[in-house]
Amino acid sequence: MLNGIYRNPTTIYFGKGAELSVGEEVKKYANRIFLHYGGQSFKKFGLYERIIDSLKASGIEYVELGGVKANPQAGLVYEGIDICRKEKLGFILAVGGGSVIDSAKAIGVGVLYDGDFFDFFERKALPQKSLKVGTVLTIPGSGSESGEGAVITHEKLGKKYDCGSPVMYPVFSILNPENTFTVPPYYTACGITDAIAHVLERYFSNTPFVDCTDRICEGLIKTLMKYAVLVDKEPANYEVRAEIMWACKLAHDNTAGFGRKHDWACHKISHEIGARHDIAHGAILAVIFPAWMRYVYRKDERIFLQFADRVMDVDAGAMASAPVILKAIDEFQRFLKMIGMPSTLGEIGLHEKAELTDIAAKCAALMPSGTIGNFARLTSDDIEKILLSSF
Ligand SMILES: [Fe+2]
């Protein structure tokens, strides 16, 4: 196990009606706040009224800005920064999924910075401070509700970059599974796929002696797979939604990643595709991850055999290792397909082979080494082969 820092400062309020006390919680930080959200669905099912009532009951004034899209964009972040400064707002309340929370985090660091907030995402500067952010989560999956990271697409620059800093953890997040009952099946599946990918990025590691976190990873993936199937049949079952919501949170708060090297190549590839095409992040990962697994498993078959045995329950029998691993990957992809996820780049709208070369080159150029990933270090040539295998 590697040395490390374990930090998990976000207070979670979990359960039925948890959002009813949001006003009291916000009042600890400011009396005038910025309320940030996505589309109109937030206003359709009563959550908006419950939050506004709670804020008013605590004497909180708010200025609101909706319109955050699935791949949150820099344009709205700039708008949010301007509003927070002009209105002298002291806190940001994000109501939505990972996109809204990421947008709120970017606004938070941008308000207190003299330069362009995107400097943080281009690694030109490190965030030193932020307006405090609280969240009411409505779509589980991103893990942003208790993580230090955010991902923003700069639509004018054609870049989708991530940024992480200890100052970007939300101070609190409200997780009421009832608020996820109306998430459509496709977006529920995208969120679950994203959460599984967050675990797999940590699980496929060359670090030895990490049995505790191996077992945590395996438990999280099996839980998410089980409830991904059940939620399709019972979208308004509280216990089913609760299991998903909690597993998605744990999948990305680094409980599952402590003491081990992570990979993150699939996320980097996914972000490059997401910067060019408006496709749900989870759907891109559903295509990329199985292709990546087939390409890299020979680097260290031990962890893939463990995945086959403990996660996918493949009966190895007298089979050699490669067929066992490939069977497990096939089963995993079959599961993703069953919950409505795509299997090929064509299915998500990528039809030009020439574009894949450019995507691969841009991904590799992200790092000074010219490679991405840790489990296997991928050159642009490797990335292109992975993309071609899922074409
Ligand atoms: Fe993700």
pLDDT tens digits for 222-248? Answer: 999 999 999 999 999 999 999 999 999
Ligand 1 centre distance from Cα of residue 143 (Å): 8
What pLDDT was estimated at residue 19? 96
The helix/strand/coil state of 348 is helix
In the reported structure, the alpha carbon of residue 196 is separated from the centroid of ligand 1 by a whole-number distance in angstroms of 9
Distance CA 335, CA 229 (A): 9
Tell me the CA–centroid distance for residue 320 and ligand 1, in Å. Answer: 33
- Kindly give the distance from the C-alpha atom of residue 88 to the centroid of ligand 1, in angstroms, as a whole number: 32
Confidence category of residue 174, pLDDT binned at 50, 70, 90: very high
133: pLDDT strictly greater than 90: yes
Kindly list the protein residues that place their beta carbon closer than 5 angstroms to ligand 1, a single-atom ion.
194
Q: Which amino acid is at 306?
A: Q
Mean pLDDT score of the chain, rounded to an integer? 96
Nearest to 155 by CA among 78, 92, 40: 78
Q: Output the CA 191–ligand 1 centroid distance in Å.
A: 9
For residue 118, the model assigns a pLDDT of 97
Q: What is the pLDDT of residue 242?
A: 98
Residue 261 CA to ligand 1 center (angstroms) comes to 17
351-373: average pLDDT: 94
For residues 138 and 183, the answer to whether their CB atoms sit within 8 Å is yes
> Residue 88 has which token pair?
């002298």
pLDDT score recorded for residue 43: 82
Instruction: Determine the distance separating the centroid of ligand 1 and the alpha carbon of 371, expressed in angstroms.
Output: 20
Side-chain-side CA neighbours of residue 348 (13 Å): 26
- Residue 13 CA to ligand 1 center (angstroms) comes to 23
pLDDT band at 44 (very low <50, low <70, confident <90, very high): confident
Confidence of residue 106 (pLDDT cuts 50, 70, 90): very high
- Quote the ligand 1 centre to 281 CA distance (angstroms): 7
Q: Is the pLDDT of residue 319 over 90?
A: no
Average pLDDT of the segment spanning 188-192: 97
What pLDDT score was predicted for residue 41?
75
CA of 195 to the centre of ligand 1 (A): 7
Lowest mean pLDDT among 197-201, 289-293, 306-310, 347-351: 347-351
